[in-house]
Amino acid sequence: SQSYAPLAKLRCIHFGDKEIDTWYNSPYPEEYTSKYVLHICEHCLKYTDSSFVLDRHLLKCAYKYMPPGNEIYRDRCVSVFEVDGRKNTIYCQNLCLLAKLFLNSKTLYYDVEPFMFYVLYEIKPASEHYSFVGYFSKEKLNSTNYNVSCILTLPTHQRKGYGNFLIEFSYLLTRREYKLGTPEKPLSELGLLSYRNYWKHTVCRSIKWIIDNVSPEMLPFLTVSISDICDISGMVANDVVTALEQLEMLVKQHDQKYGILVDMEVIEEVLSNWDSKNYLKIQPENLIWKSVV
Ligand code: ACO
Ligand code: ZN
């Protein structure tokens, strides 16, 4: 008789104390995806199709109390670890497999060595328990200006500002490298929504910063350029232009160049709207980090 590859049955993952529906297929080894549920260790991201095996593993998981990598950012309630794909290869591969469950596009799974992974955790103050929220990956050496390869917030933690935090974090690293950066293309639909939102309020904040930092007598002569905004934000010019278009503050000048028509009312509205959400903000002074290159 002929044997057929089993259809992927996987519908959800058991992760920590949650069951999370999966969105797309991920190339986990076939023998693990023949059941509806995949059990994943929330600490080391190892997977099994047996809840019994996971329970046994949890008793002795090496990352139960401390995630892999180096803690490079700490706030009261969150922490970011930098994990090297070369040093923690299995963990990073498992992270990519997990991410693929929520990503439609092709991503890497096994060739993780050239990447750094920045993993965000929530910390429960009472227990000092690190619980996984999301991550982004970044190529260590690159000739392009990509500062994010792949970004994910677990569906159970989405729409709380964590994606925005991760994006902001990626630009903070880029500014510390004295570079400009942009995410790898193509962006997913959710990636595009999140980035467009980030670019919009960041361009507003940059313009406001420039205006707030000019002496009053110079204010009438002030011009704000796209490259000023790039320098402050770490964003590439293309993404600044995208944001200015969204804000309807981009004007084409006679010499085929673009100018910025600053509209303070729009800027204040965007900023107060965003700030009123009270999402987690980055404290740049809490980042203890040196670029690998
Ligand atoms: N619908 C509409 N707007 C959205 C959505 C959405 N589903 N998600 C984010 N936004 C916009 C909103 O303006 C949102 O603010 P609001 O929630 O107050 O309205 C703002 O972005 C910030 O959202 P966050 O809560 O910070 O984003 P989240 O933590 O949900 O993470 C992410 C966003 C990472 C894109 C998440 O949706 C995800 O992991 N998706 C699956 C994986 C993916 O597609 N990753 C991006 C691939 S592209 C790349 O990797 C370079
Ligand atoms: Zn484990």
Which listed ligand is nearest to 168 at the C-alpha?
A: 1
The helix-helix angle for 226-233 and 237-246 (nearest 10°) equals: 110
CA–CA separation, 145 and 83 (whole Å): 20
C-alpha closest to that of 204 among 144, 249, 137 = 249
Q: Which tokens go with 67?
A: 């995630």
Residue 19 a catalytic site member: no
What is the structure's pLDDT at 193?
98
- Ligand 1 atom nearest the C-alpha of 274 is 18
- Ligand 1 atom nearest the C-alpha of 192 is 48
What is the structure's pLDDT at 7?
56
Which listed ligand is nearest to 42 at the C-alpha?
A: 2
Q: Quickly state the pLDDT bin for 43 (edges 50, 70, 90).
A: very high
For residue 241, give the amino acid letter. Answer: V
Q: Which residues pair with 228 in a beta bridge?
A: none
% pLDDT > 70, the chain: 97
Structure confidence by residue, pLDDT tens digits, 188-216: 999 999 999 999 999 999 999 999 999 99
- Residue having the nearest C-alpha atom to atom 29 of ligand 1: 163
Which has the higher per-residue pLDDT, 2 or 21? 21
- How far CA 154 is from CA of 22, 196, 277, in Å, comes to 10, 20, 20
CA–CA separation, 264 and 207 (whole Å): 9
Residue 219 has pLDDT above 80, yes or no: yes
C-alpha closest to that of 10 among 57, 55, 49, 43 = 49
The helix-helix angle for 189-212 and 226-233 (nearest 10°) equals: 110
For residue 96, give the amino acid letter. Answer: C
Regarding the beta carbon of 133 and ligand 1, being less than 6 Å apart is answered no
Burial (Cβ within 10 Å: 0-12, 13-18, ≥19) of residue 267: buried
Q: What is the 3-state secondary structure (H, E, C) of the chain?
A: CCCCCCCCCCCEEEECCEEEECCCCCCCCHHHCCCCEEEECCCCCCEECCHHHHHHHHHHCCCCCCCCCEEEEECCCEEEEEEECCCCHHHHHHHHHHHHCCCCCCCCCCCCCCEEEEEEEEEECCCCEEEEEEEEEEECCCCCCEEECEEEECHHHCCCCHHHHHHHHHHHHHHHCCCCEEECCCCCHHHHHHHHHHHHHHHHHHHHHHHHCCCHHHHHHCCCCHHHHHHHHCECHHHHHHHHHHCCCEEECCCCCEEECCCHHHHHHHHHHHHCCCCCCCCHHHECCCCCC
In the reported structure, the alpha carbon of residue 230 is separated from the centroid of ligand 2 by a whole-number distance in angstroms of 41
For a ligand 1 pocket test, name from 103, 132, 159 the mutation site with the most ligand atoms within 8 angstroms of its C-beta. Answer: 159
The gap from C-alpha 248 to its chain's centroid, in whole angstroms, comes to 27
Biggest CA pair distance of the chain: 87
Reported residue count of the chain is 293
- Ligand 1 atom nearest the C-alpha of 164 is 26
Q: Annotated catalytic residue: which of 71, 184, 189, 217? A: 184
Q: Look at strands 146-148 and 258-260 and give their pairing.
A: unpaired
Structure confidence by residue, pLDDT tens digits, 69-124: 999 999 989 999 999 999 999 999 999 999 999 999 877 778 999 999 999 999 98
This model of the complex carries an ipTM of 0.99
Q: Look at 68-77, 213-222, 251-260 and tell me which has the smallest mean pLDDT.
A: 251-260
